[in-house]
Amino acid sequence: MENGEIIKVSGPLVEAVNMKSARMYDVVYVGRQRLVGEVIRLRLDRASIQVYEDTSGLGPGDPVFPSGGPLAVELGPGLLTSIFDGIQRPLDLIARETGSFIRRGVNLAALPRDRRWDFTPAVRPGDKVTAGDVLGTVPETELLVHKILVPPETAGEVLEIAGGSFGLDQPVGLLRTPEGQVPLKLMHTWPVRRPRPYLEKLRPEIPLVTGQRVVDTLFPVAKGGSAAIPGPFGAGKTVFLHQVAKWADSQVIVYIGCGERGNEMADVLLEFPNLKDPRSGRPLMDRTVLIANTSNMPVAAREASIYTGITIAEYYRDMGYDVALMADSTSRWAEALREISGRMEEMPGEEGYPAYLGTRLAAFYERSGRVKCLGSRSATGSLSVVGAVSPPGGDLNDPVVQMTLRAVKVFWALDDQLAYQRHFPAINWLSSYSLYLGNLEGFLGAEVAPEWPELRRWAMGILGREAELKEIIRLIGTETLSLQERLLMDTARSLREDFLHQFAFDENDAYATLQKQYLMLKTIALFHQKSEEALSEGVPLNRILGLPVREQIVRNRYVAEDNLSHFHALEKEIVTSFEALHN
């Protein structure tokens, strides 16, 4: 193919002529340093190219080399525990190659070719296989068996297959397809902007357990669901996403740091290898893939990073795993889109964002889902997507927030007033919502407790009533409240402080199983119910609220998961305390 020639350089956007053979979204190499770029507009033989690296030093006359293909990622064993930039360049290998600072024009394969993997075949020569069938397995980390699948859009008869130790470049077998014989390898590539195929989407009806009480109990997200967490700076978006990445009951986590802080990625990198998965006891890093395109890294690669991340996530979903993806922050992605759009002099929509922002956002979140995977084995996998949104000034009228809310089913509203009190997670219980409640009631009722849905409704009722009473107090003080109302105010406070508030850095409190959440909530409800009964029998409110057993409810959070029988004892104690009040 012919080379193009640069005629214009404007920040991350380069225009080149003599690009007749280029197709939309093809990858090209720009300048003598062969910086990676992507074609985003074509007009006659003139192409607009977003360049994924700093364009300093480029000038008119410099060459542009076509690659002939779209931006694609490498999919195979070795993804887990790795950290990539927005276009899947391996940052750990780059550090080894070029030192602590990222130099330009480094081209390293995303997955290391020198590493060998133990492959155990699951098919035999003569077997007919189709896309999505399992050819064999590789133990990728101690937490995850990597299934080597027949790549999408491929089918045929296995001619040869061998077990043993293989590098990613070496064929493990041979497949006869209608188009001829193709070698079978442990990896394949897939274009990031194209969702990976599946058989059908299923209704999400199993909760993604995050261990965060305000989420799991009040505003749960389903496996295969989508959620957004918008909020001003300092409200705790990143800490919350880290918590979900640590404790969510998914087999694979893909964490995308999109235009955020370098230290936050360093934090994950240093902390995750030392944190144990609460279910398996293995380091959390063993199930994690990190994509880091920090705020000071090139803006165009930030745009690509969420597609790189979600394609990797889909790949593990296709193996039949539950995958959770966190994108922090989608606002920075949208800003990257806006910056490139502005430089192309497109007509802006709201707040300068391009008119296609809403479509792109919706298409991204729609790649989540619980699906029946390709292949003859009727496996199901799920991909849950949680996106942080960082609206200017925390203003929810921001177009990115509004367009995101049209696409997602769960909205966790961060509240800076709660953050100021250091009430974390600072998720507001009045304005947040989850549209999965109905879907999940069946599962929660069966797996946790039949009265779970009832208990949740009770808690939401108390919190809602508290907000109304607070308005009254603001106007006329506490004097006019009835005893029942004062009791309710106190129960609401207990719900907020002893249940919803959670310490991310406390060993026993950072994560709570559904069972513990249920028991904690149940003791608060029991105390409330007993108090109401006592009130109606004429026991003074201050005697009820002065019961020493309340101190124990306050400390519920510190009860260890292997000591949940404590709650049964506590329930008994509550009952006996109230009996003692009557005597």
Give the Cα separation of 27 and 165 in Å (integer).
33
Residue from the set 78, 86, 224, 259 that interacts with other proteins by CB under 8 A: 259
Residue with Cβ nearer other proteins (67 or 295): 295
Is 238 known to sit in a ligand binding site?
yes
Is 99 known to sit in a ligand binding site?
no
Residues in the chain, overall count: 583
Q: Does 421 bind other proteins (CB under 8 A)?
A: yes
Minimum CB–partner distance for residue 299 and other proteins (Å):
5
Which region, judged by CB under 8 A, interacts with other proteins, from 39-47, 374-382, 474-482, 575-583? 474-482
Residue from the set 153, 179, 200, 479 that interacts with other proteins by CB under 8 A: 479
Is 105 known to sit in a ligand binding site?
no
Q: Does 261 bind other proteins (CB under 8 A)?
A: yes
395: left (phi over 0), alpha (psi -120 to 50) or beta: beta
DSSP for 255-318 reads: EEEES--HHHHHHHHHHGGGSBPTTT-SBGGGGEEEEEE-TTS-HHHHHHHHHHHHHHHHHHHH
Residue with Cβ nearer other proteins (269 or 275): 269
Q: Does 99 bind other proteins (CB under 8 A)?
A: yes
Q: Does 482 bind other proteins (CB under 8 A)?
A: no
Q: Does 484 bind other proteins (CB under 8 A)?
A: no
Candidates 322, 320, 358, 317; CA nearest to 338 is: 358
Q: Does 497 bind other proteins (CB under 8 A)?
A: yes
Residue 455 carries which side chain, given as an amino acid letter?
L
Q: Does 390 bind other proteins (CB under 8 A)?
A: yes
HSE-up of residue 131 (Cα within 13 Å, Cβ side): 14
Q: Does 5 bind other proteins (CB under 8 A)?
A: no
Is 22 known to sit in a ligand binding site?
no
Q: Does 540 bind other proteins (CB under 8 A)?
A: no
Q: Does 422 bind other proteins (CB under 8 A)?
A: yes
SS3 of residue 371 by DSSP: strand
Give the Cα separation of 105 and 39 in Å (integer).
18
Exposed/middle/buried for residue 325 (C-beta within 10 Å: 0-12, 13-18, 19+): buried
Number of residues that bind other proteins (CB under 8 A): 80
Minimum CB–partner distance for residue 222 and other proteins (Å):
30
Q: Does 242 bind other proteins (CB under 8 A)?
A: no
CB 243 within 8 A of CB 209: no
- Residues 208-237 within binding reach of other proteins (CB under 8 A): 232-234
Q: Does 471 bind other proteins (CB under 8 A)?
A: no
Residue with Cβ nearer other proteins (77 or 232): 232
Q: Does 257 bind other proteins (CB under 8 A)?
A: yes
357 φ/ψ angles, rounded to the nearest 5 degrees: -55, -45
Q: Does 60 bind other proteins (CB under 8 A)?
A: yes
Can you list the positions of beta strands (E) in 150-250?
A: 155-161, 164-166, 173-177, 180-184, 188-191, 200-202, 226-230
Omega before 151 cis (within 30°)? no
Question: Which residues define the annotated binding site?
Answer: 231-238
Question: Binding site for ATP: which residues?
Answer: 231-238
